[in-house]
Amino acid sequence: MLFEYAIVGGVLLGIFYALLSVGLNVVFGAQKIINLAHGDIIMLGGYAAWELYQTYKISPIISTIIVVPITVVLGYILNRLIAPRLAKASDPEMLSLILFFGLSEVIEALSSLVFGNAERSLPVSSIPTAPLKLFGQAYPADWWVSALVAIPLLAIFLLFLYRSSVGLQVRAVISDSVEAAVAGINARRVSGLYFGIGFALAACAGVWGVFIFGGVSPTEGPAITVTAFAIIVFGSLGNPIGTLVAGIIFGIFYQLAQVYIPSWSNLVPYALVIATMLTRPQGLFGRRQRVA
Amino acid sequence: MTDSPVLLRIENLTTVFGGLKALSEVSLEINPGQAIGLVGPNGSGKTTLVNTVCGLYRPASGRVILEGTDITGHRPHSIARAGINRTFQIPKPFKDLSVYENVKVSSIHSRNPAPIEEVLARVNLREFANHPISELTASQQKRLDLARALALEPKIIFVDELAAGLTPGELHEVAEMLKQFQAFGIAMIVVEHLMGFLEQVVASVLVLSAGRTIFTGALRNALADEEVKRVFLGGESDAGN
């Protein structure tokens, strides 16, 4: 019984973790950088949901929609500010790590000032539904509703990437930005948009993170970034589909650990990174030489 | 030169890398449907000229004028959309895209996009439309590079060392394709080392040495020019590629 609970719960949470991580992989694809502020963008999504519910009684489902355009624009502007500087840098990877580490610290400090250091949470009653009963077990409403919200979001993202004209241009820019520019694609604009979409996916995950993590606090960012990083490395850097599968596998492993060895469960992300690096450094869906 | 209006005029183009003058006051004019060979030893500045005209390098001085409009220093995508396209010495197709998608993505910003199948047929790749890039031979990848350039409905294509590594049969096939494109009014600047191939597709050449123009005129006259012979046979100091 416990095993079934861990598997079903793991799949539900895994879909959420896929949403939580895919934005980090998107930003990597757009700019070939690891966004160390990823967890902080998720945290901001959480605060947005909290504020919108506390002040206007707006449901988290609606908040998920509201945060998308705001974070796409914010991500796009940030990309346009940093991309030219990174392009001119002698060591763009190192500069980007420093830059996003700094951004993470700034977001954390500002969040503390604005929202205080105490953890903020939302009542489960803000989601108008009941626990899901399956195979004789009850799964919390936030688990399955977050999965239910994440599925169409991820589906729309994949349709955009693999079925739209802009998505085709995004994939060309990810493959080779110089060749893409010669093909008439405004590579800066396209990668800026994709970067913004990465931020939006993170913020959407943040809305539901308030429930899954039990609340939102200014210091939660780095730990979330580590989890998301573990998942995208496991699934393969630059491959969004890999992230989706890796997120679900991570969710199952995490739930199994929670059920059988709860005190060790927080080690799952680190164990996943180490195991991936030792056995399949290119990740589940990666080629030997990574092509983002 | 014919009486037709000049399509592309390059005026005294100079490109500098640090303290090195890789291209020094190079000028060139080309009309619609015309083909000019761009030759010179390794490091003479041929690819630098192509990269500068296409917006990948910013010139230190000089102008690039397309149909009367100054496009000097414009960004690569703007130049491509304006009608200047190119192939690469070593083709770098978008590896995660199919052959069809590689051409499709180039046609998105064409003002008058031709059907992708038609573009692929022009380079004999129609039957490979749904294949992944990894299944193409080197020769097919070069033709795909041409197809991508064609998909943008270019007025001029810089063809960068297309012949390198091709068999005699493939060379003939590619030469016929280039002549066909000229017949459609597309101008071409063909960067090439293989004189036999060049003779099939161009009548005139511009010869570069150490970033400077040392000869312009008919290809047969270039082969008899003393300075050209000295540069090709006697060696010289290179000035970047």
What percent of chain B clears pLDDT 90, i.e. is strictly above it?
A: 76
Q: Select the residue of A168, A181, A291 nearest B77 (Cβ to Cβ).
A: A181
Q: Virtual CA dihedral for B210, B213, B219, B221, nearest 10 degrees?
A: -100
Last residue within a domain, chosen from B107, B133, B153: B153
Last residue within a domain, chosen from B126, B153, B180: B153
Task: Count CB-CB contacts under 10 A for residue A200.
Answer: 27
What is the distance, to the nearest Å, from the Cα of residue B241 to the centroid of all Cα atoms in its chain? 15
Residues B119 and B129: beta-carbon distance below 8 Å: no
Query: Does B159 lie in the same domain as B75?
Result: yes
Number of separate domains in chain B: 2
Q: Provide the residue ranges of all domains of chain A, joining segments of one domain with +.
A: 2-112+146-279
Instruction: Give the pLDDT confidence of A144-161 residue by residue, as tens digits.
Output: 999 999 999 999 999 999
CA of B233 vs chain A CAs: smallest distance (Å): 35
Query: Does B57 lie in the same domain as B34?
Result: yes
pLDDT at B4: 58
Cβ distance B108 to A185 less than 8 Å, yes or no, reads yes
Q: Does the pLDDT of residue B236 top 60, yes or no? A: no
Phi, psi of B108 (to 5 degrees): -55, -40
Question: What are the residue ranges of helices labelled H in chain A?
Answer: 2-31, 38-56, 60-88, 92-115, 141-163, 165-175, 177-182, 187-212, 221-235, 240-260, 268-279
Q: Select the residue of B77, B93, B95 nearest A184 (Cβ to Cβ).
A: B77
Per-residue pLDDT of chain A (292 residues; tens, 9 = 90+): 788 999 999 999 999 999 999 999 999 988 888 899 999 999 999 999 999 999 999 999 999 999 999 999 999 999 999 988 888 888 888 999 999 999 999 999 999 999 999 999 998 888 878 888 888 888 999 999 999 999 999 999 999 999 999 999 999 999 999 999 999 999 999 999 999 999 999 999 999 999 999 999 999 999 999 999 999 999 998 889 999 999 999 999 999 999 999 998 888 888 888 888 899 888 888 775 444 4
**Measured between beta carbons, which residues in chain A are less than 8 angstroms from residue B109?**
183-185
Q: Select the residue of B92, B110, B152 nearest A179 (Cβ to Cβ).
A: B92
Query: Does B183 lie in the same domain as B76?
Result: yes
Q: Does B41 touch chain A (CB under 8 A)?
A: no
A49 Cβ contact list (under 8 Å, min separation 6): A60, A63, A64, A67, A122, A206, A207, A208, A210, A216
Q: Select the residue of A178, A183, A186 nearest B105 (Cβ to Cβ).
A: A183
Q: Can you tell me the distance from the alpha carbon of B130 to that of B121, in angstroms, rounded to the nearest whole number? A: 13
Query: Does B96 lie in the same domain as B76?
Result: no
Query: Does B239 lie in the same domain as B216?
Result: yes
Last residue within a domain, chosen from B153, B174, B202: B153
The DSSP H or E segment spanning B37 is strand B35-39
User: Which residue in A240, A233, A243 sits closest to A174, CA to CA?
Assistant: A240
Cβ distance B94 to A171 less than 8 Å, yes or no, reads yes
Q: Does A289 touch chain B (CB under 8 A)?
A: no
Q: Can you tell me the distance from the alpha carbon of A253 to that of A245, in angstroms, rounded to the nearest whole number? A: 13
Instruction: Give the pLDDT confidence of B89-143 residue by residue, as tens digits.
Output: 899 899 989 999 999 999 999 988 899 999 999 999 999 999 999 999 989 999 9
Cβ distance B110 to A179 less than 8 Å, yes or no, reads no
A41-76: b or e for each residue (b if 16 or more CB lie within 10 Å)? bbbbbbbbbbebbeeeebebbebbeebbebbbebbb
User: Which residue in A79, A84, A65, A85 sits closest to A37, CA to CA?
Assistant: A79
CA of B34 vs chain A CAs: smallest distance (Å): 22
Q: What distances in angstroms separate CA A41 from CA A47, A201, A206, A237, one per listed residue? A: 10, 10, 7, 19
Q: Can you tell me the distance from the alpha carbon of B68 to that of B209, in angstroms, rounded to the nearest whole number? A: 28
pLDDT at B104: 97
Cβ distance B54 to A182 less than 8 Å, yes or no, reads yes
Side-chain-facing half-sphere of A16: CA atoms under 13 Å? 27
Picking from B58, B77, B101 by the largest number of A CB atoms within 10 A of its own CB, the best residue to mutate is B77
What percent of chain A clears pLDDT 90, i.e. is strictly above it?
A: 74
Q: Does B101 touch chain A (CB under 8 A)?
A: yes
* CATH number, domain with residue B161: 3.40.50.300
Query: Does B22 lie in the same domain as B45?
Result: yes
Task: Count CB-CB contacts under 10 A for residue A255.
Answer: 23
Helix, strand, or coil (residue A144): helix
Cβ distance B106 to A165 less than 8 Å, yes or no, reads no
Cβ distance B92 to A169 less than 8 Å, yes or no, reads no
pLDDT at A290: 43
Picking from A88, A165, A182 by the largest number of B CB atoms within 10 A of its own CB, the best residue to mutate is A182
The DSSP H or E segment spanning B51 is helix B46-53
Picking from B94, B107, B110 by the largest number of A CB atoms within 10 A of its own CB, the best residue to mutate is B94
Q: Can you tell me the distance from the alpha carbon of B61 to that of B14, in angstroms, rounded to the nearest whole number? A: 5
Q: Does B132 touch chain A (CB under 8 A)?
A: no
Cβ distance A180 to B97 less than 8 Å, yes or no, reads no
Query: Does B77 lie in the same domain as B88?
Result: no
Cβ distance B104 to A181 less than 8 Å, yes or no, reads no
Phi, psi of A90 (to 5 degrees): -75, -30
Query: Does B70 lie in the same domain as B168?
Result: yes
**Measured between beta carbons, which residues in chain B are less than 8 angstroms from residue A186?**
75, 77
DSSP A11-45: HHHHHHHHHHHHHHHHHHHHHS---TTHHHHHHHH
Query: Does B160 lie in the same domain as B59?
Result: yes
Residues B97 and A172: beta-carbon distance below 8 Å: yes
Residues A218 and A43: beta-carbon distance below 8 Å: yes
Cβ distance A168 to B97 less than 8 Å, yes or no, reads yes
Q: What distances in angstroms separate CA B74 from CA A121, B28, B57, one per listed residue? A: 51, 19, 10
Q: Can you tell me the distance from the alpha carbon of A266 to that of A246, in angstroms, rounded to the nearest whole number? A: 17
Sign of CA dihedral B87, B236, B60, A174: positive
Q: What distances in angstroms separate CA B38 from CA A115, A165, B146, B198, B234, one per listed residue? A: 65, 36, 18, 9, 19
Residues in chain A: 292
Burial of A136 (0-12, 13-18, 19+ CB in 10 A): exposed
CB pairs under 8 A between A and B: 69
- Supply the range of the domain harboring residue B216: 1-82+155-241
Q: Can you tell me the distance from the alpha carbon of B79 to that of B53, in angstroms, rounded to the nearest whole number? A: 8
Q: Select the residue of A168, A169, A182 nearest B76 (Cβ to Cβ).
A: A182
CA of A177 vs chain B CAs: smallest distance (Å): 10
**Measured between beta carbons, which residues in chain B are less than 8 angstroms from residue A291?**
95-96
Q: What distances in angstroms separate CA A12 from CA A59, A71, A249, A262, B76, one per listed residue? A: 20, 25, 11, 18, 46
pLDDT at B196: 87
